[in-house]
Structure 1
Amino acid sequence: MIHVFLLFSLCFSDYGFIHGVSSLGINYGQVGDNLPPPDKVLELLTSLKLTKARIYDTNPQILTTFANSDVELIVTVENQMLPVVVDPQQALQWVTTHIKPYFPATKITGIAVGNEIFTDDDTSLLGYLVPAIVSIHGALAQLGLDKYIQVSTPNSLAVLEESYPPSAGSFKGEVSSVMSQFLQFLSSTGSPFWINAYPYFAYKDSPNKISLDYALSNKNPGMVDPYTRLHYDNMLYAQVDAVVCAMSRLGYGGIEVRVSETGWPSKGDPDEVGATVHNAAAYNRNLLRRQMSKEGTPLRPNMRLEVYLFALFNEDLKPGPTSERNYGLFQPDGTIAYNVGLSALATSSASISLTSSATKASKVEYQSLVYWMFVYLLILQVFMRRQQ
């Protein structure tokens, strides 16, 4: 009987609010002058039981600090480096310098070559994208790392010419040639298509036409795609399936789509409709709920959708409108920006100390459950002995 009890305990050990949500990651941006050091960030991620993160460079301090942790990292080749790493020798040098010294102690699982290159203001970068991706992948293969590290590039939803209804999804004509080359690479290497998808932008631009509840993934009637007859109760899934359809139009229907960024700002300028704490909390809470249930999109219901939330911190040095500096779940000093159910915060002057209130509640429930199961097993054991 004691073996049964131990097995039962092990099955429920470390029971927490987001324990096991392996399809949820978070973007760890660093465009701020008051952010906590990487060791405190690792403590935060660990306390939240988040095991996937994406950074926008290859910061050696972060890569060193995250060694021997449970956090998987996606790192980035910055946009300005694309013309350099087109050269296979330069790509090999980049991987040798920025990846090899840290792997496998640091769980680097992906390399983002650039960010939103297809829609970047500097259109000259587009010609470098696929050659740079191929060179980086070739360098990984040369070092025997290609089996462990995927190579792709995050794309803005603006790469689509059409996104509504999802079945009408198609890429812009001016990028279709390079897009086909990129999709061929993804198909041949088994790498995912990364999309930065923000229902917030669609709602902000057309608040009179788009239902806020639909954008936030609150309860709503949703919409039915007139061609596939599939029902969508949230805009994020519709955006993802529009990308799937766009790829299918170019002959690449089997590539996995992952959301490399999504989120909702908690503050904005007067003309940034919908940028409120209430809406940000609702969007991310609903996103978390869906990730916990390991949902797929209507087009791919049996393939869980991997999503990276944007972002971990508010970043005070980001340019642009007020919303750009207010996507974080946390303030740089460690105080919570708003509660999505992930955590309750306790701070001290010496360090950031974060614990999940939901996890605490779950642990109490778990302890109670284990206690009564143990009592039940003892009673059962006594009963069985009496029967003998």
Structure 2
Amino acid sequence: MEELPITITIFSTTRFLRLCLLISGLMLLYTTTFLVNANGVASSIGINYGQIANNLPSPQNVIPLLKSIGATRVKLYDADPRVLRAFANTGVQFVVGLGNEYLSKMSTNPEAALAWVKSNVQPYLPATNITSITVGNEVLTFNDTSLSGCLFPAMQNVHTALTNLGLDKQVTVTTAHSLAILDTSYPPSSGSFRKDLRGCITQILDFHTKTGSPLLINAYPFFAYKGNPKQVSLDYVLFQSTATTNKNNNNNNNAGGSAAAGILDPVSNLRYDNMLFAQIDAVYVAMAALGFKKSPSVQISETGWPSKGDEDEIGASPENASKYNSNLLKLVMKNKGTPMRPNTQLDVYVFALFNENMKPGPTSERNYGLFKPDGTPAYQLTGISSNTSSDDDHNKTTGGGASSSKTNTTTGSSPPDTSSTGYLSISSATVDTTCFGGRGFYLKFVFIVYLNLIQMRW
């Protein structure tokens, strides 16, 4: 065998050290760029925009308020034309809703579904970026049980209407469920759907899987704490526990409820430091039991904490509302998944944007808002980026931009006819792209690398 000549290149110590520094710098540049990009498109925070009030700002005046907290997504529970027109050409993504009152007709009349889409969705595209339609809200646990059989056919007909109009690739169809669709939720590894709903839920999960739409769940740890404050740890529901093991909670049959700071699932051996994640994982397990182990995705379409309540609504306070929503924001912006699915993107919609003075029920129902109707914060909230605040207030809600002028508010003794109810979803999980000095740093760094490579004369 012929021997091949061996060429040995000898670097000086200075050149070798320079090369090592350049390689390390390039690795740092790649890593930080990757992390910023990864987080920038990761989980997003949503806020429900309810309109059951007679003193809210006009949609035009909501726009700067949303910008002040970094909002890029809006989710309505109806298809309010005032809102859709106001947000045209803003780049904000929209989810519109079809109310429960339409389900009976939509389930049996495909033409009615087509007409609804033509009137409430198609005219606003593409100026207003509508991405999804929610068909009904908590239908399977609604007081009118006759609607349960209407839900899936209505979803099918709305999707067919989108397909016929060539919009099905842009606009998906889904519906929101109460956590009450679960029969068992504790421990999370024992999660299961109610037996009487499994047939319908299986159809819906199959629909989501085929169309690529998410399963929406409304989950409120506040209700668990209010109902049993002696057994449910406040730290646990406010995302402030340390996942302390409590073996005595294994007989507790609420969604992660415990007297300890956290729980240990005795079956999966997974630790939970907050109730919301335990509830989500219970849903994942229930889905897997029906054969849906990898899809569809799960989103929390409603969760929040009231800043005020009646005497028997223990825990309703500005302090607890701030802790719940602030800690939730921090978790989502870290792109932290649940213990069962730590690498799965988690999208959450906080309830709600405004306090709504005309909502029926206990005092808490009118005090879930992050903001008062005049645009000022209902309480201090950290974790939301503001586009208009100073550096010191960069992560605090300021309410800047929303006008409280009477000439710019919705007035009257009842909610607008065009918007009986509504939800707003915003993406405030923004990432500071000025890491290590921002874009200018990257350009300077690359230029320095280039000069050094030339000097080394490869």
TM value normalised by structure 2: 0.74
The 8 Å contact of residues 136 and 175 in structure 2, kept in 1 or not, is answered as yes
Equivalenced residues, count: 367
Q: For 1:138-149, what aligned pairs fall within 5 Å after superposition?
A: 138-149=160-171
SS in 2 for 1:145: coil
The structure-2 alpha-carbon separation of the partners of 1:377 and 1:194, relative to structure 1 and needing over 3 Å to count, comes to: closer
Q: For 1:74-89, what aligned pairs fall within 5 Å after superposition?
A: 74-86=95-107, 87-89=109-111
| 2:329 equivalent to 1:308 | no
The 8 Å contact of residues 51 and 71 in structure 1, kept in 2 or not, is answered as yes
The 8 Å contact of residues 25 and 51 in structure 1, kept in 2 or not, is answered as no
The 8 Å contact of residues 263 and 273 in structure 2, kept in 1 or not, is answered as yes
The structure-2 alpha-carbon separation of the partners of 1:123 and 1:277, relative to structure 1 and needing over 3 Å to count, comes to: same
- TM-fit CA distance, 1:369: 6.9
What residue number does 1:64 align with?
85
What residue number does 2:67 align with?
46
SS in 2 for 1:133: helix
Cα RMSD between the aligned structures?
2.9
Distance (Å, rounded) in 1 between the aligned partners of 2:404 and 2:151: 45
The structure-2 alpha-carbon separation of the partners of 1:112 and 1:374, relative to structure 1 and needing over 3 Å to count, comes to: closer
- TM-fit CA distance, 1:70: 2.5
SS in 1 for 2:319: helix
- TM-fit CA distance, 1:285: 0.4
Runs of 5+ unmatched residues, structure 2? 1-28, 245-261, 385-396, 410-427
What residue number does 2:274 align with?
234
SS in 2 for 1:96: helix
SS in 2 for 1:75: strand
- TM-fit CA distance, 1:22: 4.9
Distance (Å, rounded) in 2 between the aligned partners of 1:377 and 1:110: 41
Q: For 1:281-300, what aligned pairs fall within 5 Å after superposition?
A: 281-300=322-341
Q: Which has the higher contact order (CA 8 A, sep 6+)?
A: 2
| 2:197 equivalent to 1:175 | yes
The 8 Å contact of residues 79 and 117 in structure 1, kept in 2 or not, is answered as yes
What residue number does 2:257 align with?
none
SS in 1 for 2:123: coil
Distance (Å, rounded) in 1 between the aligned partners of 2:404 and 2:270: 52
Distance (Å, rounded) in 1 between the aligned partners of 2:454 and 2:269: 60
What residue number does 2:139 align with?
117
Pick from 142, 147, 161 the counterpart of residue 183 of structure 2.
Answer: 161
Distance (Å, rounded) in 1 between the aligned partners of 2:369 and 2:379: 9
- TM-fit CA distance, 1:168: 0.9
SS in 2 for 1:111: strand
- TM-fit CA distance, 1:179: 1.4
The structure-2 alpha-carbon separation of the partners of 1:194 and 1:377, relative to structure 1 and needing over 3 Å to count, comes to: closer
What residue number does 2:57 align with?
36
Pick from 324, 332, 341 the counterpart of residue 365 of structure 2.
Answer: 324
The 8 Å contact of residues 53 and 308 in structure 1, kept in 2 or not, is answered as no
What residue number does 1:189 align with?
211
- TM-fit CA distance, 1:278: 0.6
What residue number does 1:344 align with?
398
SS in 1 for 2:283: helix
Distance (Å, rounded) in 2 between the aligned partners of 1:302 and 1:103: 34
The 8 Å contact of residues 19 and 49 in structure 1, kept in 2 or not, is answered as no
The structure-2 alpha-carbon separation of the partners of 1:88 and 1:292, relative to structure 1 and needing over 3 Å to count, comes to: same
What residue number does 1:3 align with?
none
Identity within the alignment, %:
48
Q: Which of 128-137 and 219-228 deviates more? A: 219-228
- Letter of the structure 2 residue corresponding to residue 45 of structure 1: L
What residue number does 1:99 align with?
121
- TM-fit CA distance, 1:84: 1.3
Q: Residue deviations 1:287-340, cap 9 Å, x none?
A: 110111111111111111011111100111111110111110000111110111
- TM-fit CA distance, 1:73: 1.3
Distance (Å, rounded) in 1 between the aligned partners of 2:229 and 2:132: 36
Distance (Å, rounded) in 2 between the aligned partners of 1:56 and 1:290: 26
SS in 2 for 1:153: strand
